[in-house]
C-alpha cells in the first residue's frame, strides 16, 4: 500500500500507521481516509474542533490513530431538551478522550433507521450513532440510540433508557461510555465526576462537577481558602484542607448530605489528605511534632501514627493503587523530590532525579506511571515517568503554570490546572500529551482538580 | 531669730507645696471648677508625656495596641527559599517574648507565609518552617509552649498582589498575632 506523508512525519507516527494498517487491513477503506486526513493535519499546526457554542469545549492536538465517528442529532433533541444537546455532549466526550474524531453528521436518522453505509463511508466515518429523545407523559425522557460499524456495515448495539430531567447529562455521558467501551474495549470515564476549588469575589468554593466540567455544584462555600481536595475511593466523600479557623485543618465531608467532620486538627498545620485504596485510612501532613511530617490516621480521625521521621519537609502523600506504598515529596536531599516508602514504614527510596524541584505526585490506576509537576527554569510543568525500570521524564505540556495532576480512573487521561490568558483553568490531556481539552467553566479562577472514581 | 524664720519659711513652703498637691476629686458634684493637673494614660499613643507636669509626670503604656514594641511592628520578612530569622528582626521578637514572659495568660500565634511561586502544599510546609523559626526564638527567650503556636498559610493569603520581586518580598513573611 502507498501512503503519502509529509517530510516532517516522525518515525513513531510511521510506526503507528504501519501497525494500524496491519491491524485493520481487513476492514479498511475507512482507515486510509482517516490516516490521510490525519497526516495532512499533522502538517498543519494544531487544529481546534469546537462543538456547539453551548458547550464551549476547546480541544486541540491531533493523534495519528483517531477513529472517525459520526453522531447525528438525536431525533426531536432540539424540541424535547432545548437546554442541552445529548448528541453534542456525546461528541465532545468522545473527542476529549483523544481516541475519536467527530465527523459532521447532517441528516435525520434515529435508532430505527437503515443508514446507507456507502454514504457514511463517503463521509470518512468508521462508526455512526443515531438516536431519539421522547418526552414521556410522566415528565421523564425516553432516550434511545444505536451504534453502527460503518466499515462492516453492521449494528454494534444500542440502548434505551428513561430518565428524569435532572439526569439528562448523566444519560448522555453513559451513552459516551457505552460507545467508548464497544469500540475500544476499555472502560469509559465520561460519567465520572471531578472536584475542584474556585476562588472569586473574596470567596472560595469546593465544587463537584461532571468529568467534562459541566453541572458544577457547590459542596463547600467559605470566606477562607480551601486546598487539597481528595475523593474517597467509593466516591461518597471528599477530604480537604480548610482555613476557616485561621489555620490548616483536614476535614472529610459526605457530598450527598454535606455532613462534615474535622479529622486532623492538631497543633500547627494539618494538610495534604490522601485516602488509602480501601478507604479506611488517610495519610496526612502534620506539624504537631515540629516541621512537616507524614502520618497515617483513621478515616474518623483519632490518634495518628507517624510514618516519616526526617528533619526535612515531607508532604503530599499519594498511595500506590495496591495500598502497599506511599509516594511523597521530601526536600531531605536539598530541594523537593518525589520518594516512596512502604505503608508500614521503613526505607525511603527516591523516585525522581531530573531537575531540582519535583512535586505533586499522582500514580496511575495501574501503578505503572507517575504524573507530577517539575520546575524547569521559571516554569512549572506537567511530567510523567514510568515507575518500572529507568523511566525517563516526559513533559506533557509546554505551558508554565501547571499544577495538581490527577488520573482518570481508566488511566487514559490526566486532569490538571493551568493558566491561560491570565486565568486559572482546568485541562485534560491524553498520556502522550497529544490531545488536550480545556474544561471551560464560568467562575473566575479554578484550581486543584481531582478526578473521582467510577460509579455514582 | 534665724531658727524661727527657718521654721516659718519651711512651714510656708510646706503650705505652698501642700496646697499645690491637694488632690481634686474628679467626680466632684459641687460644680466647683476642677483643675486637672496631670494627664495620665487615656489610651492614646505612646510617649504622650506632656513634659510640663514636672515631678509627677507619668508615661502611659498601652498594651492593647502592642504599644510595648511601638515602631517594631509584628511582621518578620524572609529571603527567597529561606526560613532563617534575620538579625534585624531580633528586637521585634524580643519585645514579643518580653510581653509573653510578663503575662503567662498571653498567647501568640505566628502565621507563616510564602510568595506565590511553587506548589501549594510544599509552600504550606515552607511557611510552617518560617513560623517555627520565630516560635523557636520566642521559646528560647522564655515563652512557654502553651503560649505559642506556629501555623502556616503557605501562598494562600498574600499581603500584596503582584508577580514581581517587590510583591514577592512582601509576601515571604511571618506575622505575630495575639490570640
A307 has a pLDDT exceeding 70: yes
Contact A418, A433 (CB under 8 A): no
Q: Among A128, A163, A184, which residue terminates a domain?
A: A184
Lowest mean pLDDT among A260-269, A297-306, A435-444: A435-444
CB-CB under 8 Å, B118 with A375: yes
Q: Is residue A274 part of a domain?
A: yes
Per-residue pLDDT averaged across A125-144, rounded? Answer: 96
B39 or B157: which leads in pLDDT: B157
Of B121, B150, B153, the CB nearest to A316: B121
Pair B47, B86 in one domain? no
Pair B34, B77 in one domain? no
* Count: domains in chain B: 2
Task: Show the cell assigned to A55.
Answer: 458547550
The CATH number given to whatever domain includes residue B105 is: 3.30.1330.60
CB-CB under 8 Å, A267 with B156: no
Pair A418, A308 in one domain? yes
Question: Tell me: the pLDDT tens digits for A422-438?
Answer: 888 999 999 999 999 99
Of A247, A291, A313, the CB nearest to B122: A313
Q: Nearest CA of chain A to the CA of B138: how many Å?
A: 15
Question: Tell me: the pLDDT tens digits for A63-99?
Answer: 668 999 999 999 999 999 999 999 999 999 999 999 9
Of A247, A360, A448, the CB nearest to B151: A247
ipTM > 0.95, yes or no = no
Q: Is residue B164 part of a domain?
A: yes
Of the candidates A291, A292, A230, which has an alpha carbon nearest to the alpha carbon of residue A263?
A230
Pair A320, A179 in one domain? no
> Closest-CA residue in chain A for B110?
A268
Interface of B with A in 77-116 (CB under 8 A): 109, 111
Cα gap A296→A318, rounded to integer Å: 12
Per-residue pLDDT averaged across A324-346, rounded? Answer: 97
Task: Show the cell assigned to A224.
Answer: 477562607
Pair B137, B116 in one domain? yes
> Chain B residues with CB inside 8 Å of A417's CB?
none
The predicted structure's pLDDT at residue B48: 43
Q: Nearest CA of chain B to the CA of A292: how many Å?
A: 6
pLDDT band for position B71 (cuts 50, 70, 90):
low
Of the candidates A204, A286, A245, A347, which has an alpha carbon nearest to the alpha carbon of residue B156?
A204
Cα gap B83→B174, rounded to integer Å: 10
Pair A197, A177 in one domain? no
Pair A142, A200 in one domain? no
Cα gap B127→B138, rounded to integer Å: 17
Per-residue pLDDT averaged across A231-253, rounded? Answer: 98
CB-CB under 8 Å, B120 with A403: yes
Q: Is residue B138 part of a domain?
A: yes
CB-CB under 8 Å, A373 with B121: no
Pair A228, A175 in one domain? no
Per-residue pLDDT averaged across B110-117, rounded? Answer: 97
**How high does pLDDT run on average in chain B?**
78
Question: Tell me: the pLDDT tens digits for A186-220?
Answer: 999 999 999 999 999 889 999 999 999 998 999 99
**Residue B152 contacts A where some CB pair is shorter than 8 Å:** yes
Cα gap B65→B44, rounded to integer Å: 9
SS3 assignment, position B51: helix
Percent over 70 (pLDDT), chain A: 86
Pair A170, A68 in one domain? yes
The predicted structure's pLDDT at residue B33: 53
Pair B99, B31 in one domain? no
Pair B83, B119 in one domain? yes
* Count: domains in chain A: 2
The predicted structure's pLDDT at residue A31: 44
Pair B30, B54 in one domain? yes
CB-CB under 8 Å, B126 with A313: yes
Q: Supply the range of the domain harboring residue A304.
A: 193-451
Q: Is residue B66 part of a domain?
A: no
> Chain B residues with CB inside 8 Å of A313's CB?
122, 125-126, 129
Cα gap A418→A426, rounded to integer Å: 6
pLDDT band for position A15 (cuts 50, 70, 90):
very low
Pair A256, A214 in one domain? yes
Question: Tell me: the pLDDT tens digits for A444-453?
Answer: 689 999 999 9
A264 has a pLDDT exceeding 80: yes
Q: Is residue B32 part of a domain?
A: yes
The predicted structure's pLDDT at residue A52: 33
Pair A229, A177 in one domain? no
Q: Is residue A456 part of a domain?
A: no
Question: Tell me: the pLDDT tens digits for A341-356?
Answer: 999 999 999 999 999 9
B30 or A394: which leads in pLDDT: A394
Task: Report CA-CA distances (Å) from B116 to A171, A201, A243, B124.
Answer: 41, 19, 17, 11
Pair B53, B126 in one domain? no
CB-CB under 8 Å, B122 with A225: no
Q: Is residue A4 part of a domain?
A: no
Q: Is residue B153 part of a domain?
A: yes
Q: Is residue B139 part of a domain?
A: yes
Per-residue pLDDT averaged across A302-310, rounded? Answer: 97
Per-residue pLDDT averaged across A110-130, rounded? Answer: 95
Pair B82, B167 in one domain? yes
Q: Among A122, A151, A184, which residue terminates a domain?
A: A184
Pair A251, A316 in one domain? yes
Q: Is residue A324 part of a domain?
A: yes
The predicted structure's pLDDT at residue B37: 52
Q: Is residue A1 part of a domain?
A: no
B158 or A421: which leads in pLDDT: B158
Question: Tell me: the pLDDT tens digits for B53-64?
Answer: 567 777 765 545
Q: Is residue A415 part of a domain?
A: yes
Sheet containing A217-222: order of strands: A217-222, A203-210, A193-200, A445-451
Pair A229, A359 in one domain? yes
The CATH number given to whatever domain includes residue A262 is: 2.120.10.30
Pair B120, B53 in one domain? no
CB-CB under 8 Å, B128 with A291: yes
Q: Among A184, A210, A230, which residue terminates a domain?
A: A184
A39 has a pLDDT exceeding 50: no
Q: Is residue B81 part of a domain?
A: yes
SS3 assignment, position B5: helix
CB-CB under 8 Å, B122 with A243: no
Task: Report CA-CA distances (Å) from B166 to B72, B78, B115, B161, B172.
Answer: 21, 13, 11, 10, 11
Q: Is residue B67 part of a domain?
A: no
The CATH number given to whatever domain includes residue A154 is: 3.40.50.10070
Q: Nearest CA of chain B to the CA of A247: how many Å?
A: 6
A106 or A240: which leads in pLDDT: A240
Pair B151, B173 in one domain? yes
B82 or A60: which leads in pLDDT: B82
Cα gap A52→A388, rounded to integer Å: 42
Q: Nearest CA of chain B to the CA of A291: how many Å?
A: 6
> Chain A residues with CB inside 8 Å of B156's CB?
225, 227, 243
Q: Supply the range of the domain harboring residue B34.
A: 2-61
CB-CB under 8 Å, B156 with A225: yes
Q: Nearest CA of chain A to the CA of B41: how many Å?
A: 33
Pair A200, A169 in one domain? no
Q: Is residue A5 part of a domain?
A: no
| Neighbour-count burial of B76, counting CB atoms closer than 10 A to its CB (0-12 exposed, 13-18 middle, 19+ buried) | buried
Pair B90, B27 in one domain? no
Pair B102, B159 in one domain? yes
pLDDT band for position A22 (cuts 50, 70, 90):
very low
Question: Tell me: the pLDDT tens digits for A358-392?
Answer: 999 999 999 999 999 999 999 999 999 999 977 89
> Chain B residues with CB inside 8 Å of A360's CB?
119, 121
Pair A141, A246 in one domain? no
Amino acid at each position: 500500500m502507498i501512503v503519502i506523508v509529509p517530510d516532517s512525519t516522525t518515525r513513531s507516527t510511521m510506526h503507528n500507521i504501519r501497525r494500524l494498517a496491519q491491524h485493520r487491513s481487513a476492514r479498511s477503506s475507512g482507515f486510509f481516509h482517516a490516516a490521510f486526513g490525519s497526516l495532512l493535519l499533522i502538517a498543519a499546526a494544531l487544529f481546534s474542533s469546537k462543538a456547539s457554542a453551548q458547550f464551549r469545549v476547546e480541544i486541540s492536538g491531533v493523534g495519528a490513530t483517531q477513529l472517525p465517528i459520526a453522531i447525528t442529532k438525536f431525533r426531536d433533541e432540539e424540541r424535547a431538551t432545548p437546554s442541552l444537546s445529548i448528541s453534542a455532549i456525546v461528541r465532545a466526550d468522545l473527542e476529549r478522550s483523544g481516541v475519536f474524531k467527530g465527523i459532521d453528521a447532517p441528516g435525520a436518522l434515529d435508532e430505527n433507521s437503515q443508514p446507507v453505509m456507502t454514504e457514511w463511508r463517503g463521509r470518512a466515518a468508521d462508526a455512526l450513532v443515531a438516536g431519539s429523545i421522547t418526552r414521556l407523559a410522566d415528565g421523564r425522557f425516553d432516550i434511545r440510540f444505536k451504534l453502527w460499524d460503518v466499515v462492516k456495515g453492521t449494528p454494534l448495539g444500542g440502548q434505551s433508557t428513561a430518565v428524569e430531567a435532572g439526569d439528562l447529562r448523566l444519560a448522555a455521558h453513559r451513552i459516551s461510555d457505552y460507545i467508548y467501551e464497544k469500540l475500544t474495549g476499555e472502560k469509559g470515564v465520561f460519567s465520572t465526576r471531578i472536584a475542584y476549588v474556585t476562588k472569586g469575589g473574596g470567596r472560595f468554593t469546593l465544587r463537584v462537577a461532571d468529568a467534562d466540567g459541566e453541572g458544577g455544584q457547590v459542596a463547600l462555600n467559605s470566606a477562607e481558602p480551601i486546598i487539597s481536595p481528595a475523593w474517597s475511593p467509593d466516591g461518597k466523600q471528599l477530604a480537604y484542607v480548610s482555613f476557616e479557623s485561621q489555620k490548616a485543618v483536614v476535614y472529610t465531608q459526605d457530598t450527598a448530605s454535606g455532613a462534615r467532620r474535622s479529622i486532623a486538627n492538631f497543633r500547627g498545620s494539618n494538610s495534604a489528605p490522601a485516602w488509602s485504596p480501601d478507604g479506611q485510612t488517610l495519610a496526612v501532613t502534620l506539624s504537631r511534632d515540629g516541621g512537616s511530617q507524614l502520618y497515617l490516621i483513621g478515616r474518623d480521625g483519632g490518634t495518628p501514627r507517624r510514618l516519616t521521621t526526617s528533619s526535612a519537609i515531607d508532604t503530599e502523600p499519594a498511595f500506590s493503587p495496591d495500598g502497599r506504598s506511599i509516594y511523597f515529596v521530601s526536600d531531605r536531599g536539598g530541594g523537593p523530590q518525589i520518594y516512596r516508602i512502604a505503608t508500614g514504614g521503613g526505607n525511603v527510596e527516591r523516585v525522581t532525579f531530573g531537575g531540582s524541584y519535583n512535586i505533586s505526585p499522582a500514580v496511575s490506576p495501574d501503578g505503572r506511571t507517575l504524573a507530577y509537576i517539575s520546575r524547569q527554569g521559571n516554569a512549572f510543568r506537567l511530567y510523567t515517568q514510568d515507575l518500572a525500570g529507568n523511566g525517563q521524564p516526559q513533559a506533557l505540556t509546554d505551558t508554565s503554570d501547571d499544577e495538581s495532576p490527577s488520573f482518570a480512573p481508566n488511566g487514559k487521561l490526566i486532569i490538571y490546572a493551568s493558566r491561560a490568558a491570565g486565568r486559572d483553568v482546568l485541562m485534560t490531556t491524553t498520556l502522550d500529551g497529544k490531545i488536550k481539552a480545556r474544561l471551560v467553566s464560568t467562575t473566575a479562577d479554578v484550581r486543584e482538580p481531582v478526578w473521582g472514581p467510577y460509579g455514582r | 531669730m534665724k531658727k524661727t524664720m527657718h521654721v516659718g519659711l519651711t512651714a510656708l513652703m510646706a503650705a505652698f507645696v501642700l496646697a499645690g498637691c491637694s488632690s481634686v476629686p474628679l467626680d466632684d458634684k459641687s460644680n466647683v471648677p476642677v483643675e486637672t493637673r496631670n494627664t495620665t494614660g487615656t489610651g492614646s499613643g505612646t510617649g504622650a508625656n506632656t513634659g510640663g507636669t514636672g515631678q509627677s509626670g507619668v508615661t502611659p503604656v498601652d498594651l492593647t495596641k502592642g504599644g510595648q514594641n511601638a515602631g517594631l511592628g509584628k511582621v518578620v520578612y524572609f529571603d527567597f527559599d529561606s526560613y532563617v530569622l534575620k538579625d534585624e528582626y531580633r528586637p521585634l521578637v524580643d519585645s514579643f517574648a518580653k510581653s509573653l514572659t510578663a503575662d503567662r495568660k498571653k498567647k501568640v500565634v505566628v502565621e507563616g507565609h510564602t510568595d506565590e511561586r511553587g506548589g501549594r502544599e510544599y509552600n504550606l510546609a515552607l511557611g510552617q518552617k518560617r513560623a517555627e523559626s520565630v516560635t523557636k526564638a520566642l521559646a528560647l527567650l522564655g515563652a512557654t509552649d502553651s503560649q505559642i503556636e506556629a501555623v502556616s498559610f503557605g501562598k494562600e493569603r498574600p499581603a500584596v498582589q503582584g508577580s514581581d520581586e517587590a510583591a514577592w518580598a512582601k509576601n515571604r513573611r511571618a506575622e505575630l498575632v495575639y490570640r
